[in-house]
């Protein structure tokens, strides 16, 4: 469970995430977790995964093994996750079963991606969305979405300011999210190294 947000405003893209991991009724906060950053960089993009804690290391390892992936557009991201899905099953033992009437096998994850091309979301059946303004995932996403909607049009707030507000509000109201947060900012159309 988590609160992760992406924001696009004034030619900038921000991604931010809380730091708490939750195992049933047990919360693992940043003070106890040596690796609490939920955002990682790969293939010129920032990624954050929601769902099973195992997904983080699995996706990082799968991306390292698959150098020829493209995250520059909605279609490219779809193709990249389509190529990753069999590897997740064969090499990392993903169990793709969810609902009996699902039209496709599940990848069992939800991810937000931020890069110089924009902000994107990937869902369990490999659905890919490109967001024009902002989005959030995780158990605190409803709170974060409401907070970001309320402040997005303010001229005095940057993409990073709005992302911070989203995560802070998610952490205030969601019992499975807590501060501190991690955040990254980049300009659209420019590489972030």
pLDDT tens, 8-62? 999 999 999 999 998 888 999 999 999 999 999 999 999 999 988 889 999 999 9
Q: Is the dihedral of CA 97, 100, 106, 112 positive or negative?
A: negative
Query: Which residue would you say has higher pLDDT here, 7 or 102?
Result: 7
Above 60 in pLDDT, residue 86? Answer: yes
Predicted pLDDT at 158: 98
Is the pLDDT score of 193 beyond 80? no
The pair of structure tokens assigned to 95 is: 């169990």
Cis amide bond preceding 113, omega within 30: no
Banded pLDDT at 172 (limits 50, 70, 90): very high
- In this prediction, residue 191 carries a pLDDT of 61
Q: How crowded is residue 36: how many other Cβ atoms within 10 Å of its Cβ?
A: 19
Question: Residue 106 has what DSSP assignment?
Answer: -
> ∠ CA(65), CA(83), CA(68), 5° rounding?
50
Mean pLDDT to the nearest integer, 139-151: 98
**Could you tell me what percent of the chain has a pLDDT over 70?**
98
Residue indicated by tokens 């709170």 = 143
């Amino acid at each position: 469970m988590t609160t992760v947000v992406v924001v696009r405003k004034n030619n900038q893209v921000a991604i931010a995430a809380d730091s708490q991991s939750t195992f049933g009724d047990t919360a693992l906060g940043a003070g106890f977790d040596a690796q609490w950053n939920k955002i990682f960089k790969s293939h010129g993009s920032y990624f954050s995964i929601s769902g099973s804690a195992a997904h983080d290391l699995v996706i990082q390892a799968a991306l390292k093994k698959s150098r020829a992936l493209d995250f520059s557009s909605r279609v490219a991201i779809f193709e990249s996750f389509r190529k990753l899905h069999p590897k997740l099953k064969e090499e990392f033992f993903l169990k793709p079963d969810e609902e009996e009437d699902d039209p496709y096998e599940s990848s069992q994850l939800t991810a937000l991606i931020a890069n110089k091309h924009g902000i994107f979301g990937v869902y369990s059946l490999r659905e890919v969305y490109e967001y024009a303004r902002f989005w959030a995932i995780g158990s605190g996403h409803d709170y974060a979405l409401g907070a970001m909607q309320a402040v997005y049009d303010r001229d005095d707030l940057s993409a990073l300011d709005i992302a911070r507000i989203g995560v802070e509000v998610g952490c205030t109201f969601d019992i499975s999210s807590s501060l501190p947060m991690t955040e990254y900012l980049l300009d659209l159309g420019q590489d972030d190294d």
